[in-house]
Amino acid sequence: MGQGQKGSSDKEGNKKKRDESPAPEDGQKCRVCRFPLLVALLQLLLGVAVTVVAFLMLAISPSLLARETPHWAGIILCLVSIVGFILYCITYLPDERTSMQFIGKLLYFVLCTIGLVISVLAMSFAGHHYTQTSSFRCEQAGEDCVCTLDQDKNDPIARTFTYKGVSDCEVITGTLTLYFLLQIVLNLAQALVCAIGAFIMWKHRYQVFFAGLQIGSPSSKQWQKV
């Protein structure tokens, strides 16, 4: 009789401890939910798209500057996505409380933040040049295309922009302008994806890795992190 009561009390005590302990992670239910695999995939696709569009712009005229063809932004986002895929593999090691996982998450958070800044910078350049090319007045000068802005409204000093190797000025006022608009959209999407990735890493940093002391509340039977 006494042994039965003792066994029953031990089971109740173990059940109480399980109730008061932190809830286990739900990683086995949905791996994509556990780590933002979709974020890394979107970063890779957007990075490739930005890079391809940038080289298409560069093919129009070699006179375009690096800030006008932001292939560097796309390449950097591709590298960030590779770190995300590596982190996805590290996350599902049997021992999840490892320094490698922590370093991977911290690195991915930093790279997502850098990618956000770079995407906003590239989007700003694309917006500026889109405004310029939309107001161009171009004339053919041999194998080059010479463009000027509206002297009264947009450019009081009437600067001249020469695009070498352009046989048709319609490419500058039409196709190049469309590419700048496309770069604005793609880099805006990149910035949003990087912001989401940084937010998820920040959230996982304080939910997956328990830092500090854990205090159990007897009344609510919940653990709080301090």
pLDDT tens for 80-102 read: 999 888 888 776 554 456 777 77
Partners of 147 in the beta sheet?
138, 161
Contact assessment for residue 224 and residue 217, using Cβ atoms and an 8 Å cutoff: yes
pLDDT band per the 50, 70, 90 thresholds, residue 225: very low
Using one digit for the tens of pLDDT, what is the confidence trace for 143-194?
A: 889 888 866 555 556 678 889 888 888 899 899 999 999 999 999 999 999 9
State mean pLDDT over 63-78: 92
Give the residue from 39, 34, 25 showing the smallest Cα distance to 84: 39
Number of domains composing the chain: 1
Q: Is residue 221 part of a domain?
A: no
Tokens of 89: 């593999």
In terms of Cβ atoms closer than 10 Å to its own Cβ (0-12, 13-18, 19+), residue 197 is buried
Domain that holds residue 128: 33-137+169-207
Report how far apart, in Å, the C-alpha atoms of 133 and of each of 97, 145, 171, 177, 220 are.
Answer: 53, 13, 11, 6, 63
Q: Is residue 103 part of a domain?
A: yes
Q: Is residue 20 part of a domain?
A: no
The SS3 assignment for 154 reads coil
Q: Is residue 110 part of a domain?
A: yes
Q: What pLDDT is attached to residue 17?
A: 47
Q: Is residue 117 part of a domain?
A: yes
Using one digit for the tens of pLDDT, what is the confidence trace for 97-117?
A: 677 777 878 888 899 999 999
Tokens of 66: 């690096």
Q: What pLDDT is attached to residue 189?
A: 96
Contact assessment for residue 116 and residue 195, using Cβ atoms and an 8 Å cutoff: yes
The SS3 assignment for 162 reads strand
Q: Is residue 22 part of a domain?
A: no
Residue with tokens 């798209």: 49
Q: Is residue 157 part of a domain?
A: no
Residues 6+ apart with CB under 8 A from 206: 225
Compute how many other C-beta atoms are within 10 angstroms of the C-beta atom of residue 209. Answer: 12
Q: Is residue 66 part of a domain?
A: yes
